[in-house]
Amino acid sequence: MHDSLYRAPPEGGLLVAPLDEFTAVYHRASGITHLLTEPAPQILAILGDGALSLDALLDRLARDYELTDGDLTDGDCTNGTRAALAARLAELVESGLVERA
């Protein structure tokens, strides 16, 4: 089965401002500001470098940010890390911050 590729908006499409536990992300195309928590800002940062598959993104998150199952699942690891990341990506796609390539 073909694994989808995911990408963030083009450079300059997002204005990002860290705010303590949250990160404010202004999406220029929609005019909407989103408040995100880990690992969403990290996902956007990685996908800003180029489109990646879910597995490649999971590898980069683990390597670059040392995120754990708890970071991806809010403490509920029953679905596993890959499924949790897929759910986070689906949320970001629905919000318009990430698109399938």
* pTM of this structure: 0.84
pLDDT at position 75: 46
SS3 assignment for the chain: CCCCEEECCCCCCEEEEEECCEEEEEECCCCEEEEECCCHHHHHHHHCCCCEEHHHHHHHHHHHHCCCHHHHHCCCCCCCHHHHHHHHHHHHHHHCCCEEC
Instruction: pLDDT tens for the chain, 101 residues: list them.
Output: 457 999 999 999 999 999 999 999 999 999 999 999 999 999 999 999 999 999 999 999 988 887 655 556 544 443 478 888 999 999 999 999 999 98
